[in-house]
């Protein structure tokens, strides 16, 4: 047998493996199989029951108003305060001494523990400080913070006073801050002097300072002191967090807001150049993040320790560090740094130190750990782990099996959770006490969620065939729109198939009816679980004076899932494209968008393949980037272009990040 057919066979047998729920978990699971039937029989009744898990100022009159589709209203007429639900009610019900956050800084002994009572006090102080700064309900506040408790405190302080937060990922550049602050017209920005990254302090405020040159409407920048490094200071605009917050009262009366009051706007990449501001509101969102966190992680708040390794700057951090776990009164770990500082066992030492029981991370991280070797996790006692989660990209069967064996000790089930910034909360995932797990499959839509796999004409494909993933019924945590762009909202998600939400992902149901996610079908790439738009990176490239034209594709990559590969045509005066210019362009993209957008490879080419209507044929470029035989090029205007590309490109490949 050849090596590759052996490989194929072992892949197949891996995919065919099936892990039944462990008996002890099944016997004591928060949710049983009955939930699927209950939700199928009365979807709105099912979600109303989950909403009852929250504390409402006024109960809703109507569960769902879908008359003005695709603009949904959930729990219409109800009022609540998201921060009260995440904090005060736990204290009032006698859980004030429970640890809410075990925070771990990157420097070895940096620890901070906040109980629910302490976190409530901090949030009340911050809410009073924001009010003193003139922030009112409905006002946007931009947050650009590292993984420090103040990130959680800021978000909840906004929620408490009804301000709408927009968190900008700390890895994004000044330009990303400008776009978001300007589009929302935020007047207050919260940041830090810096953060610890791979053992050293690195600056954050400089990016805000640069951004503020283009944001004249911002009146206050609140600065958390994290590293103590020197920072530029504008006396009229900048205030230290400790000066503004520490002296405030811990008393703050939470106001009840309408169930549809905006909670936050999270920007994410779409298939065009401009990031989309995804709007989430309060009642439905909190209902679904809390329920899914409780059900999918089988959370026992008295004994479990939950750790989600996502950054707070992404939706996973919003839903499964801040709102879901805290609404459930969970105890969590929050970690500032990278998994390999000071050593590659850092994560597993943290799991051991706090006895983490529920762990949620991305396949890219699992693949990195796999590469570092089995002996690294073996150094630590990981026996506390009882459920392992995966999110952000398809998990390949090898990574799934490794995760199960080497992190989960072959006993902790894996929950592969499919969802999106737009869906707000998990949508397709096993329930660990009910559903079996198959390596690489997210299994089934959760109770209360309805999906289909369709062909281009909108007909359901038979099991075993791949198609396009749609959601057929509204769900509580669904996006309520794109900030200020009703038309783009309809066009992007609701126009492809009448009345159905088009997710932009390919999917397949297997012969058992279990779901497999097959990656994006649009111009969105998924690099290490981060969403990137090809056109956004193309725009960044052509904004460099040396570039005449650019095309970007996501090429499959063993470590990062997909990697960014760019093809550029240089302007005459830029020369013929040596290593220097390739480096310059890679840095240029990093400066424009952020380091995560730096292309793995830039190829300087004489021409780009285009269809007769002038569209770049990315499919062919992907073939080149992945070193494959080229696909059909018959619709090219000039099919010799591909030969020119293959013959004339200079390959600026770099693995330095
Ligand atoms: O392609 C899917 C992929 O990530 C996209 C959503 O990205 P984002 O909005 O940044 O949210 C990431 C965290 C929820 C989806 O359209 N994706 C997410 N989870 C999975 C996944 N692909 C396969 N399996 C998953 N579990």
Assign 3-class secondary structure to 450-510.
CEEEECCCCCECCCCCEEEEEECCCCCCCCCEECCCHHHHHHHHHCCCCCCEEEEEEEEEC
Model confidence pLDDT, tens digit, residues 5-49: 444 444 445 557 999 999 999 999 999 999 999 999 999 999 999
Which of 328-337, 544-553, 632-641 holds the top average pLDDT?
Answer: 328-337
Q: What's the confidence (pLDDT) of residue 7?
A: 44
User: Phi and psi (nearest 5°) for 420?
Assistant: -145, 165
What is the DSSP pairing of strand 561-570 with strand 188-192?
unpaired
Q: What's the confidence (pLDDT) of residue 642?
A: 72
Residues of the chain above pLDDT 90, percent: 83
Token code pair at residue 612: 């007769």
Mean pLDDT, rounded, for 495-514:
96
Q: Residue 224 and residue 91: Cα distance in Å, rounded?
A: 26
Residue to substitute in 169, 310, 393 for testing ligand 1 pocket (most ligand atoms within 8 angstroms of CB): 393
Mean pLDDT of the chain: 93
Q: Residue 276 and residue 293: Cα distance in Å, rounded?
A: 26
Q: What's the confidence (pLDDT) of residue 636?
A: 58
Please check whether residue 210 is in contact with residue 85, taking contact to mean a CB–CB distance below 8 angstroms: no
Model confidence pLDDT, tens digit, residues 293-334: 999 999 999 999 999 999 999 999 999 999 999 999 999 999
Confidence of residue 468 (pLDDT cuts 50, 70, 90): very high
Tell me: pLDDT of 555 over 90: yes
Q: Ligand 1 within 6 A of 430 CB?
A: no
Residue nearest to atom 5 of ligand 1 (CA): 420
Task: Calculate helix-pair angle for 43-51, 283-296, nearest 10 degrees.
Answer: 90
Ligand 1 atom nearest the C-alpha of 395 is 24
Nearest to 482 by CA among 277, 229, 253, 251: 277
The third-level CATH classification (topology) of the domain covering 84-255 is Rossmann fold (3.40.50)
Nearest to 162 by CA among 137, 140, 186, 132: 137
Tell me: pLDDT of 4 over 50: no
Strand positions, DSSP E, 83-139: 99-104, 111-115
The third-level CATH classification (topology) of the domain covering 3-81+261-509 is Rossmann fold (3.40.50)
Q: Residue 227 and residue 196: Cα distance in Å, rounded?
A: 7
Q: Ligand 1 within 6 A of 416 CB?
A: yes
122 versus 615: the higher-pLDDT residue is: 122
Distance 393 CA to ligand 1 centre (A): 5
Distance 362 CA to ligand 1 centre (A): 10
Q: What's the confidence (pLDDT) of residue 466?
A: 93
Token code pair at residue 616: 């770049």
Q: What's the confidence (pLDDT) of residue 630?
A: 60
Which segments of the chain belong to CATH 3.40.50.12780? 3-81+261-509, 84-255
What is the DSSP pairing of strand 561-570 with strand 220-224?
unpaired
533 versus 231: the higher-pLDDT residue is: 231
H or E element at residue 532: strand 530-533
| Least confident span in 192-201, 266-275, 290-299, 454-463 | 266-275
Please check whether residue 39 is in contact with residue 63, taking contact to mean a CB–CB distance below 8 angstroms: no
Please check whether residue 174 is in contact with residue 208, taking contact to mean a CB–CB distance below 8 angstroms: yes
Q: Residue 326 and residue 293: Cα distance in Å, rounded?
A: 10
Q: What's the confidence (pLDDT) of residue 631?
A: 61
Please check whether residue 207 is in contact with residue 160, taking contact to mean a CB–CB distance below 8 angstroms: no
What is the DSSP pairing of strand 140-144 with strand 164-167?
parallel
Q: Ligand 1 within 6 A of 469 CB?
A: no
Owner of token pair 């799991």: 351
What is the DSSP pairing of strand 188-192 with strand 220-224?
parallel
Q: Residue 585 and residue 434: Cα distance in Å, rounded?
A: 50
Tell me: pLDDT of 156 over 50: yes
Q: Is 499 exposed, middle or buried (0-12, 13-18, 19+ CB in 10 A)?
A: exposed
DSSP bridge partners of 102: 113, 333
Residue nearest to atom 6 of ligand 1 (CA): 420
Q: Ligand 1 within 6 A of 517 CB?
A: yes
Residues of the chain above pLDDT 70, percent: 94
Residue 82's contacts (CB-CB under 8 Å, 6 or more residues apart) are: 156, 159, 160, 257, 263, 282, 286, 323, 327
Confidence of residue 617 (pLDDT cuts 50, 70, 90): confident
Residue 296's contacts (CB-CB under 8 Å, 6 or more residues apart) are: 389, 415, 417, 426, 429, 430, 431, 432, 446
The third-level CATH classification (topology) of the domain covering 524-647 is GMP Synthetase; Chain A, domain 3 (3.30.300)
DSSP bridge partners of 416: 390
430 versus 615: the higher-pLDDT residue is: 430
**Region of residue 142 (left: phi > 0; alpha: psi -120 to 50; beta: else):** beta
Q: Residue 655 and residue 557: Cα distance in Å, rounded?
A: 12
H or E element at residue 539: helix 534-542
Tell me: pLDDT of 352 over 50: yes
Distance 464 CA to ligand 1 centre (A): 21
Confidence of residue 648 (pLDDT cuts 50, 70, 90): low
Q: Ligand 1 within 6 A of 117 CB?
A: no
Q: What's the confidence (pLDDT) of residue 652?
A: 54
Q: What's the confidence (pLDDT) of residue 5?
A: 41
Which segments of the chain belong to CATH 3.30.300.30? 524-647
643 versus 605: the higher-pLDDT residue is: 605
Residue nearest to atom 22 of ligand 1 (CA): 393
Q: What's the confidence (pLDDT) of residue 634?
A: 57
Q: What's the confidence (pLDDT) of residue 356?
A: 98
345 versus 635: the higher-pLDDT residue is: 345
Residue nearest to atom 4 of ligand 1 (CA): 392
């Amino acid at each position: 047998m050849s090596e590759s057919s052996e490989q194929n066979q072992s892949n197949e047998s891996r995919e065919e493996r099936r892990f039944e729920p462990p008996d002890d978990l099944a016997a004591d699971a928060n949710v049983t199989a009955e939930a699927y039937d209950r939700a199928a029989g009365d979807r709105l009744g099912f979600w109303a029951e989950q909403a009852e898990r929250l504390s409402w100022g006024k109960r809703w009159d109507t569960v769902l108003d879908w008359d003005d589709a695709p603009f949904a209203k959930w729990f219409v007429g109800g009022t609540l305060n998201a921060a009260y639900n995440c904090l005060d009610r736990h204290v009032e019900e006698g859980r004030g001494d429970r640890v809410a956050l075990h925070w771990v800084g990157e420097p070895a002994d940096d620890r901070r523990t906040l109980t629910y009572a302490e976190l409530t006090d901090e949030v009340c102080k911050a809410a009073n400080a924001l009010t003193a700064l003139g922030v009112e309900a409905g006002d946007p506040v931009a947050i650009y913070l590292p993984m420090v408790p103040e990130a959680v405190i800021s978000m909840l302080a906004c929620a408490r006073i009804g301000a709408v937060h927009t968190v900008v990922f700390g890895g994004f550049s000044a330009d990303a801050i400008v776009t978001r602050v300007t589009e929302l017209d935020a007047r207050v920005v919260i940041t830090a002097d810096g953060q610890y990254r791979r053992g050293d302090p690195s600056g954050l405020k400089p990016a805000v300072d640069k951004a503020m040159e283009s944001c004249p409407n911002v009146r206050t920048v609140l600065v958390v002191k994290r590293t103590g490094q020197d920072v530029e200071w504008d006396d009229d605009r900048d205030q230290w967090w400790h000066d503004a917050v520490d002296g405030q009262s811990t008393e703050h009366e939470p106001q009840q807001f309408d169930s549809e009051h905006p909670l936050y706007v999270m920007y994410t990449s779409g298939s065009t150049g401009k990031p989309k501001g995804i709007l989430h509101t309060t009642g439905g969102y909190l209902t679904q993040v809390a329920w899914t966190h409780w059900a999918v992680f089988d959370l026992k708040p008295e004994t479990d320790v939950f750790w989600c390794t996502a950054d707070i700057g992404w939706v996973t951090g919003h839903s499964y560090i801040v709102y879901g776990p805290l609404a459930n009164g969970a105890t969590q770990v929050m970690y500032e740094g990278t998994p390999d500082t000071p050593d590659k066992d850092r994560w597993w030492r943290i799991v051991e130190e706090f006895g983490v029981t529920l762990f949620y991370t991305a396949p890219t991280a699992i693949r990195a750990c796999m590469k570092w070797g089995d002996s690294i996790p073996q150094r630590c006692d990981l026996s506390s782990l009882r459920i392992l989660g995966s999110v952000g990209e398809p998990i390949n069967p090898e990574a799934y099996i490794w995760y199960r064996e080497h992190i989960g000790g072959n006993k902790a089930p894996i929950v592969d959770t499919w969802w999106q910034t737009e869906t707000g909360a998990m949508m397709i995932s096993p329930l660990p006490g009910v559903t079996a797990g198959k390596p690489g499959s997210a299994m089934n839509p959760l109770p209360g969620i309805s999906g289909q796999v369709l062909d281009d004409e909108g007909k359901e494909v038979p099991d075993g065939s791949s198609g396009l993933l749609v959601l057929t019924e509204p769900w509580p945590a669904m996006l309520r729109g794109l900030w200020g762009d009703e038309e783009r909202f309809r066009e992007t998600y609701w126009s492809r198939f009448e009345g159905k939400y088009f997710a932009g992902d390919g999917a397949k149901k297997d012969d058992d009816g279990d779901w497999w996610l097959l990656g994006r079908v649009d111009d969105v790439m998924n690099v290490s679980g981060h969403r990137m738009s090809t056109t956004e990176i193309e725009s960044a490239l052509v904004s460099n004076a040396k570039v005449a034209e650019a095309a970007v594709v996501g090429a499959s990559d063993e470590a990062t899932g997909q990697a960014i590969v760019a093809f550029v045509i240089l302007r005459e005066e830029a020369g013929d494209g040596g290593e220097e210019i390739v480096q310059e362009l890679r840095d240029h993209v990093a400066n424009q968008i952020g380091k995560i957008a730096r292309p793995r490879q830039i190829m300087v080419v004489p021409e780009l393949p285009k269809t007769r209507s002038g569209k770049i044929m990315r499919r062919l470029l992907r073939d080149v980037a992945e070193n494959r035989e080229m696909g059909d090029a018959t619709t090219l205007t000039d099919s010799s272009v591909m030969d020119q590309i293959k013959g004339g490109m200079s390959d600026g490949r770099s693995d330095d990040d």
